Amino acid sequence: MNQTGAPQRFRTRITELFGIRHPILAGGLMWLSDADYVAAVVNAGGMGFITSRSFASVRVFQAELERCAALTGGVPFGVNLSTSRHTDVPLMAYLQAALDQGVRFFETSGRAPADALIAAIHAAGALVIHKVPLLRYGLSAERLGVDAVALVGMECGGHPGVNLDVPAMLGGAIAQERLRLPYAIGGGIGTGRQLLAALALGADAVVIGTRFLAAAEVNAHPAYKQRVIAAGEDDSLVAFAGNQPMGGAWRVMANATARTVRTREAAGLDGFDVFSDLLRGTLSRDGCYRDGDTDSGMLSMGPAACFVDRVAPMSEIIDHIITEAVQCRERIDRLMPALAPA
Ligand SMILES: Cc1cc2nc3c(=O)[nH]c(=O)nc-3n(C[C@H](O)[C@H](O)[C@H](O)COP(=O)(O)O)c2cc1C
């Protein structure tokens, strides 16, 4: 079954690959990209990915997949698989559950996906977009046989990996010269102006996380959404920069937990035991997202929070981005005298 709705305004290699109306991918969000969120993105014309790592067992994950399929009325949606060495989740079991459910679109993030993972995805007629923080990892993934690459800049909420120097706009421009595969760029994107710029750079889509955090369909406490809305472009910080044993750089909301992490880092403290009291997933999942204490836990978020102005349905946010991109294109046309009406 295909997406229907408002007319398609931009057709790219990625809209074709995923069968979506708009070149907008909503990257996996730990604890937050559940069935409601992903279905909202898909029903609005983009592609979303349920984060498998958020579910304690394959059975609970399967139930979430079924719920998502019902919410999209059978229109395809995606699943995010973390290939990080910091996760002990049985990846292949989650992959199999998703394939059995009919999922055909996967976003991987973390280490380069193993040959066996890519082979299993392709054997089922499914496809995988691998998310990387630097082009060289994208080129490796291309050689490994993934179908598309998502290249995130240093501004991205979550893990920019070892990339603390290359913003999305620079990475996206370099990628156009070196990558053959279709690619999306992400990091700091929250407007139609940026979508059009991404397409102008050569990208086939954008990957968004932070801009969607206060969408009505995000199952998180209203106090959390209000804090995202209040945040400006300088209200995130990067912890664990250069500290690979701790999972590498992590861009989060600059809340009390994140500042305590940074204070301990500045004091030269190191090792998982030093930070474990601040990194428990339950602090963000239960303390913040469920109960509304926005100082509880490390909360992935980037500077694109500055574009979040209110709680709004996902369809409204996506429609606004597309409308703005079209208007931006018209503005560019007007800047070109040869194209302007006499
Ligand atoms: C709250 C939150 C949780 C995230 N969790 C994950 C995750 O579990 N897996 C993943 O691949 N990316 C994760 N990301 C990254 C997003 O998928 C996406 O790549 C990123 O948000 C894009 O940058 P932006 O935040 O500037 O839009 C997360 C981002 C946020 C904001």
**Residues 11-26: what's their mean pLDDT?**
98
**Domain assignment of residue 342, yes or no:** no
CATH number at residue 22: 3.20.20.70
**Where in the sequence is the domain holding 168, given as residue range(s)?**
13-219+307-334
**Residues 126-151: what's their mean pLDDT?**
97
Could you give the strand order of the β-sheet that contains 236-239, starting from the edge strand earlier in sequence?
Answer: 158-161, 249-253, 236-239
Q: How many angstroms separate the CA atoms of 303 and 33, rounded?
A: 19
User: Is there a single domain that holds both residue 151 and residue 229?
Assistant: no
User: Is there a single domain that holds both residue 146 and residue 70?
Assistant: yes
User: Is there a single domain that holds both residue 49 and residue 193?
Assistant: yes
**Residues 147-151: what's their mean pLDDT?**
98
**Domain assignment of residue 259, yes or no:** yes
What is the pLDDT at residue 180? 98
pLDDT tens profile 245-272: 888 899 999 999 999 999 999 999 988 8
Task: Tell whether ligand 1 has an atom less than 6 A from the beta carbon of residue 179.
Answer: no
pLDDT tens profile 150-188: 999 999 999 998 889 999 999 999 999 999 999 999 999
Q: Are strands 158-161 and 249-253 parallel, antiparallel or unpaired?
A: antiparallel
Q: How many angstroms separate the CA atoms of 116 and 323, rounded?
A: 41
Q: How many angstroms separate the CA atoms of 80 and 82, rounded?
A: 7
User: Is there a single domain that holds both residue 51 and residue 176?
Assistant: yes
How far, in Å, from the CA of 29 to the mean position of ligand 1? 5
How far, in Å, from the CA of 337 to the mean position of ligand 1? 41
User: Is there a single domain that holds both residue 68 and residue 86?
Assistant: yes
Task: Tell whether ligand 1 has an atom less than 6 A from the beta carbon of residue 28.
Answer: yes
User: Is there a single domain that holds both residue 64 and residue 174?
Assistant: yes
Whether residue 56 is predicted with pLDDT greater than 80 in this model: the reply is yes
Whether residue 342 is predicted with pLDDT greater than 70 in this model: the reply is no
User: Is there a single domain that holds both residue 37 and residue 130?
Assistant: yes
Residue having the nearest C-alpha atom to atom 3 of ligand 1: 29
The single-letter code of the amino acid at 122 is H
**Domain assignment of residue 323, yes or no:** yes
What is the pLDDT at residue 122? 98
Whether residue 340 is predicted with pLDDT greater than 70 in this model: the reply is no
**Domain assignment of residue 2, yes or no:** no
**Domain assignment of residue 255, yes or no:** yes
Which atom of ligand 1 is closest in space to residue 299's alpha carbon? 1
Question: What total of structural domains would you count in the chain?
Answer: 2
**Domain assignment of residue 167, yes or no:** yes
Please tell me the least confidently modeled range out of 6-10, 45-49, 54-58.
Answer: 6-10
| pLDDT bucket at 341, cuts 50 / 70 / 90 | low
Task: Tell whether ligand 1 has an atom less than 6 A from the beta carbon of residue 169.
Answer: no
User: Is there a single domain that holds both residue 136 and residue 270?
Assistant: no
Q: How many beta carbons lie within 10 A of that of residue 5, not counting itself?
A: 12
User: Is there a single domain that holds both residue 120 and residue 83?
Assistant: yes
Q: Give 13-19's long-range contacts (Cβ < 8 A, gap of 24+).
A: 13/148, 13/182, 13/204, 14/148, 14/182, 14/183, 14/184, 14/204, 14/205, 15/204, 15/205, 17/127, 17/147, 17/148, 17/182, 18/47, 18/76, 18/78, 18/105, 19/76
Phi-psi category of 307—alpha, beta or left, where left has phi over 0 and alpha has psi -120 to 50? alpha
How far, in Å, from the CA of 30 to the mean position of ligand 1? 8
Task: Tell whether ligand 1 has an atom less than 6 A from the beta carbon of residue 109.
Answer: yes
What is the pLDDT at residue 195? 98
Contact 91, 81 (CB under 8 A): yes
**Domain assignment of residue 339, yes or no:** no
User: Is there a single domain that holds both residue 215 and residue 233?
Assistant: no
Q: How many angstroms separate the CA atoms of 132 and 38, rounded?
A: 21
Contact 279, 239 (CB under 8 A): no
Residue having the nearest C-alpha atom to atom 5 of ligand 1: 29
pLDDT tens profile 193-247: 999 999 999 999 999 999 999 999 999 999 999 999 999 999 999 999 988 888 8
User: Is there a single domain that holds both residue 208 and residue 237?
Assistant: no
User: Is there a single domain that holds both residue 111 and residue 152?
Assistant: yes
**Domain assignment of residue 42, yes or no:** yes
